[in-house]
Structures are given as C-alpha cells and as structure tokens.
Structure 1
Amino acid sequence: MIRVLLADDQALVRGALASMLRLEADMEVVAEAGSGAEALEAAVRTGPDVALLDVQMPGPDGLAVAAELRRVLPACRVVICTTFGRPGYLARAMSAGAAGFVVKDSPPEQLVEAIRRVHAGLRVVDPALAAESLASGTSPLTDRESDVLRAASDGGTVSDISRSLHLSKGTVRNHLSSAMGKTQARTRAEAVRLAEGNGWL
C-alpha cells in the first residue's frame, strides 16, 4: 500500500482528492491537512510514503513544507499539486526536494499515476509546464530582492520593509529598484504582481 498524506486548504478539493485516492486498491490516505503546519504535524505522526501538497496554504506554504519534509522525513516523497501552474513554482518545488509537480486540472488518472511513479522513485512533471519553465528560465531575482518584494506585497512603505527585514532604507530602495529593473516593472506593485505571476515569490 502507498500511504498518502493530502494537504490542501480547500476542504472540497481535499475531500474530492481523498475520495478519488481511496478508490485505488494500492493507496491509503493516512492523513488530511488544511494548512502547512497541520501537514507537517500529520506527516511526522503518520509517516506517509507520499505527501500530496498544494502550493498556497496558510502557514508555511507547500514549497516550504516540501523542504522541511526533506529534512525531517527524507523517505517521504513529495508531489506538488496546484491550481497555479507557474514556471517559477516548478523550479522552486524541485529545489525544495519535490519529486513531482502536477496541476489540478490534470485528468484524475494522471494524478494517480504520478503518485505511483513518485513512490517508485521517479520524477513526474507536467509536460506543458516543464516546457514553459525551460522557455522562461529561472528567477532573475536574488534571495534578498525576493524577500523585499514579498515584504512590499502588502503595500508597506520603505520604512515598514526596512523595519521588518532589518535593512537600511537605502538598501531596501536599492533592492526594490533592482527588482523593478529585472521584472521590467514601472512600479514596485507591478514588480510584485509580475514576480508572483511567474511563481518567483
């Protein structure tokens, strides 16, 4: 039996996935979670073979959960299953240790097969997303530029960002300017939108 953990903040989606997987003779859903923190707790408690994680969840997101699972449960294989098929998410998921990446509008049998293949030690990536990811390349943003854009995403001032990241205002302005240049944005709000749209944040 393949022991599967499901983590998705949308209860209807999570319930539908669980019902679908329970129809498979070789799969057992050992835990369901609605947030990143719940997913980590459930994974440590149940020791699943495969964790099926959404990207956007409260608390640590699916990518952060994948990275933490690689550290605390290295035998657990991770499949990211998301509505947001963004090239940047794929690159970040792979660097976080995910073995699979599928989008939620994939046919059900494709998701089931992805779980089996990942459990068998293979990597599975949505082919259209893989092609788009190769075409768009990796994120041009440095880690610090990404941090500053994330902090800017709630509309805070340079002073707010400076305080939250413990950087000088001048350094914050430099990072914002650089990020705007790399995303070819006219404003920092546009830079945030473009970076999020590409899955870089």
Structure 2
Amino acid sequence: MIRLLLADDQALVRGALAALLDLETDLEVVAQVGRGDEVLDAARGAAADVALLDVEMPGLDGIAAAGALREHLPTCRSLIVTTFGRPGYLRRALDAGTSGFVVKDTPAERLADAVRRVHAGLRAVDPDLAVASLAVGASPLTERERHVLALAADGGTVAQLAGEVFLSEGTVRNYLSAAIGKTGARTRAEAVRVAQENGWL
C-alpha cells in the first residue's frame, strides 16, 4: 500500500483528490493539510510515502515544501499537482527535489500512475509542460532579483522594499532594473506579470 499525503489549500480539491485516489486498491490517503508549512510534520506523523503538493499554498509554497521533504524526510517523495502549469514552476520544482509534476486536470488513472512512478523512484512529468519548459528555458533571474521582484508584486515603494530585504534603495533599484531588463519588460509591474506567467516567481 502506498501511503499518500495531500497538501492543497482548497478543501474541496483535497477531498476530490482523496476520493479519486482512494478508489485505487494500492493507494491510501493517510493525511491531508491545507498549508505548506504543515507538510513536513504531517508526512512524518503519517509515515507518508508520497506527498502530493499544490504550488500555491499559505505558509510555504509546494515547491519549498518539497525541498523541506527532500532535506528532512527523504523517504517521502513529492509530486506537484497544480492548476498552475507554468514552465518555470516545473524547473524550480525539479531543482527542489520533486519527482513529478502534473496538472490538476490530469485524468485520474494518469494521476494514480504518476503516484506509482514517483513511489518507485521514477519521474512523472506532464509531457506538454516539459515541452513548454524547454521552450521557455531557465529563469534569467538571479535568486536576489527573483526575491525582490516577488516582494514588488505586492506593491510598495523602493524604500519599503529596501527595508524588507535589508538592502540600500540603490541596490534594490539595481535588482529591479535588472529584472525588468531580463524579462523584456518596460515597467516593474510588467516584469512581475511576465515572471509570474512563466513561473519564475
């Protein structure tokens, strides 16, 4: 029996996934959480074999949660199951140590097969997303540029951003300027949009 943890901030989605997966004779949902920062403890407590993680969750996103599992509980493999099939998310997820990445409209039998592949130590990646990821390429942003641009997505002045990241205003301006240039945008807001659409944030 493959023991599963489901992590998604939408209870309805979690319930639907649990119902579908529990129909499989070799799969058992042993834990469900609605926040990314609850994943590690829940996986430990339930002795989960595979964690199915949404990307966008409160507390910690699914990609960061996958990284925490890889570091602290490597016996539990992770599979990203998300609405947001963005190429940059796939690359970041694989870098964080996930074994698979599928979108939520994947047919139930393919999702179950992805879980089995991940449990067996194989990769399970949505083929269309893999092709899109290759076409888009890696994120051009450095980690600092990505961090500053992600904070800029919530608005705020350069002074406010500088205060949040403990950098000078000039340095923050430089990071924002570099991010704008690398995304081919004309404004900070457009750079945020481009980066979000590509899954770089």
TMscore range, shorter length: over 0.9
Number of aligned pairs? 201
Which digits, 9 at most, give the CA deviation of each residue in 1:12-59, with x for residues without a partner?
110000011111110111100111122222112112000000000011
Determine the structure 1 residue equivalent to 2:197.
197
Q: For 1:27 and 1:107, how far apart are their aligned partners in 2?
A: 16
Counterpart position of 1:40: 40
Question: Equivalences for 1:105-184 in 2 at 5 Å?
Answer: 105-184=105-184
Counterpart amino acid of 1:62?
A: G
Distance 2:44 2:120 in 1: 21
Whole-Å separation in 1 of the counterparts to 2:170 and 2:26: 57
CA distance in 2, matches of 1:37, 1:96: 15
Gaps of 5+ in 1: none
Matches within 5 A, 1:43-58: 43-58=43-58
The residue number in structure 1 matching 2:16 is: 16
Matched, 1:97 2:89: no
- Structure 2 residues without counterparts, runs of 5 or longer: none
* Contact 1:47–1:73 (CA under 8 A) maintained in structure 2: no
The 2-side partners of 1:105 and 1:21 are apart by 14
Aligned residues of 1:52 and 1:78 also touching (Cα < 8 A): yes
Q: Give the alignment's Cα RMSD to 1 decimal.
A: 0.7
Tell me, yes or no, if the aligned pair for 1:49 and 1:119 is still in contact at 8 Å: yes
Work out the CA distance in 2 between the residues paired with 1:47 and 1:62.
19
Query: Residue by residue, what CA displacement relative to the aligned partner does 1:159-182 show, whole Å, maximum 9, x if unpaired?
Result: 001000011100001111110001
Give the corresponding residue for 1:88.
Answer: 88
The answer to whether 1:66 aligns with 2:66 is yes
Give the distance between the partners of 2:109 and 2:75, measured in 1 at CA.
24
Cα distance in structure 2, aligned partners of 1:180 and 1:37: 31
**Alpha-carbon distance between aligned partners in 2 of 1:48 and 1:178, rounded to the nearest angstrom:** 42
% same residue: 66
State TM-score, norm by structure 2: 0.98
Structure 2 counterpart of 1:174, which letter? Answer: N
SS at 2:3 equivalent:
strand
CA contact (8 A) 2:40 2:73 kept: no
- TM-score, with normalisation over the residues of structure 1? 0.98
